[in-house]
């Protein structure tokens, strides 16, 4: 059963990653910065629990605030451009964050050990769960509490005036601007919410894996983040969840015996989704 609980943990964390991109895609923006926010949340939460001795829950709260703050700071300059330039700008940010943590070295002595981030060797000894007697299913439940909370928040957003504004900007920026919508404010707010969700996801990822390094937050992670809502569709948050289950549960784990050939299947999935189902598994909700 531990294998299935572990798979549920993986799906839960990747769902948070996908949801962080979902809200940005609602505004019509394609961002590859989610892996960077994910990394910021992971290192923040890990340092607070390991070096400062915090409980995980407040540490995740700080990782959400840190992810949101970084996303807001990045959003103002990055979201003034769009299309290919935005993709390049956010990709550069994500790679910059990865390289920062590749060179980030901050360790403190705990007894006979030194703990904390150690550059390219990564950040080990993130032992909150085992040190506090958490079982695999306990960790899974905690992750899914945050997943359900994030999905409920975005579901509520989607049915509020704010959600209508996000979709209006995504459908036609010129029309949205003509009725008084501040495009920059809307896009940055979506990026900020996405950064907060990615920060929480990163914090949970760091603690259930117990070891993170710069390579854990590469371009593949950023690609996964935007692929989930694209494949699942922007009709509602459940499309992202279905896409994560299909990709991580079936393509990655179910077809593990195929080795690296799975990467070709993942690429083929994106191509098929764009050609046969361009609006995603659940499609896109249309507004009158």
DSSP states along 72-134: HHHHHHHTTS-THHHHHHHHHHHHHHHHHHHH-B--EEETTEEESBBGGG-B----HHHHTT-
41-66 pLDDT, tens digit each? 999 999 999 999 999 999 999 999 99
Asked whether residue 279 is assigned to any structural domain, the reply reads no
Residue 267 binned pLDDT confidence (cut-offs 50, 70, 90): confident
| Distance, CA of 113 to CA of 116 (rounded, Å) | 10
27: enclosing H helix or E strand? none
**What tokens does 205 get?**
């990822």
Asked whether residue 199 is assigned to any structural domain, the reply reads yes
Q: What is the dihedral of CA 220, 270, 70, 105, to 10 degrees?
A: 0
Q: Give 251 or 155, the one with higher predicted confidence.
A: 155
Whole-number percent of the chain with pLDDT over 90: 61
**Most confident listed range (101-110, 249-258, 270-279):** 101-110
102-106, 210-214, 229-233, 240-244: which range is least confident on average? 229-233
Whole-number percent of the chain with pLDDT over 70: 94
| Distance, CA of 153 to CA of 284 (rounded, Å) | 19
**What tokens does 128 get?**
């909150």
Asked whether residue 281 is assigned to any structural domain, the reply reads no
Asked whether residue 82 is assigned to any structural domain, the reply reads yes
Q: Give 4 or 13, the one with higher predicted confidence.
A: 13
Is the pLDDT at 109 greater than 90? The verdict is no
Of 276, 167, 285, 169, nearest to 236 (Cα)?
285
What average pLDDT score do residues 167-189 get? 90
**What tokens does 50 get?**
């390991």
Instruction: Please give the pLDDT value at position 287.
Output: 47
Asked whether residue 156 is assigned to any structural domain, the reply reads yes
| Distance, CA of 253 to CA of 265 (rounded, Å) | 13
Domain of 53, in residue numbers: 2-218
Mean pLDDT over each residue of the chain, to the nearest integer: 89
Please give the sequence-ordered ranges of beta strands (E in DSSP) within the chain, or none if there are none. Answer: 108-110, 113-115
Asked whether residue 260 is assigned to any structural domain, the reply reads no
Asked whether residue 275 is assigned to any structural domain, the reply reads no
Is the pLDDT at 274 greater than 80? The verdict is no
Residue 212 binned pLDDT confidence (cut-offs 50, 70, 90): very high
Asked whether residue 251 is assigned to any structural domain, the reply reads no
Domain total for the chain? Answer: 1
What average pLDDT score do residues 267-272 get? 74
Instruction: Please give the pLDDT value at position 278.
Output: 60
65-75 pLDDT, tens digit each? 999 999 999 98
For 41, 158, 276, the CA distances from 92, given in Å and listed in that order, are 18, 30, 31
For residue 250, the tally of other CB atoms under 10 A from its CB is: 13
Instruction: Please give the pLDDT value at position 102.
Output: 95
Instruction: Please give the pLDDT value at position 282.
Output: 67
Is the pLDDT at 288 greater than 50? The verdict is no
Is the pLDDT at 253 greater than 50? The verdict is yes
Is the pLDDT at 4 greater than 80? The verdict is yes
């Amino acid at each position: 059963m531990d294998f299935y609980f572990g798979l549920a943990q993986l799906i839960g964390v990747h769902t948070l990653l996908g949801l962080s991109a979902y809200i940005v895609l609602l505004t019509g923006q394609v961002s590859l910065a989610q892996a960077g926010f994910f990394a910021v949340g992971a290192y923040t939460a890990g340092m607070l629990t390991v070096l400062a001795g915090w409980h995980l829950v407040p540490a995740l709260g700080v990782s959400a605030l840190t992810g949101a703050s970084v996303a807001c700071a990045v959003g103002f300059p990055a979201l003034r451009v769009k299309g290919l330039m935005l993709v390049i700008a956010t990709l550069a940010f994500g790679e910059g964050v990865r390289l920062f943590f590749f060179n980030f070295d901050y360790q403190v002595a705990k007894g006979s050990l030194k703990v904390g981030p150690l550059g390219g060797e990564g950040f080990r000894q993130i032992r909150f769960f085992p040190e506090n007697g958490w079982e695999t299913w306990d960790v899974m439940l905690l992750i899914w509490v945050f997943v359900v909370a994030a999905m409920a928040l975005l579901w509520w957003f989607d049915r509020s005036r704010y959600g209508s504004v996000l979709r209006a900007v995504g459908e036609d920026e010129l029309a949205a601007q003509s009725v008084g919508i501040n495009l920059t404010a809307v896009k940055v707010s979506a990026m900020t919410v996405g950064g907060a969700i990615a920060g929480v996801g990163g914090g949970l990822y760091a603690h259930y894996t117990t070891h993170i390094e710069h390579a854990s937050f590469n371009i593949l992670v950023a690609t996964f983040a935007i692929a989930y809502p694209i494949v699942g569709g922007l009709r509602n948050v459940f499309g992202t969840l279905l896409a994560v289950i299909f990709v991580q549960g079936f393509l990655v784990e179910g077809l593990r015996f195929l080795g690296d050939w799975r990467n070709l299947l993942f690429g083929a999935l994106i191509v098929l989704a764009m050609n046969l189902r361009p609006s995603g598994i659940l499609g896109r909700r249309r507004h009158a």
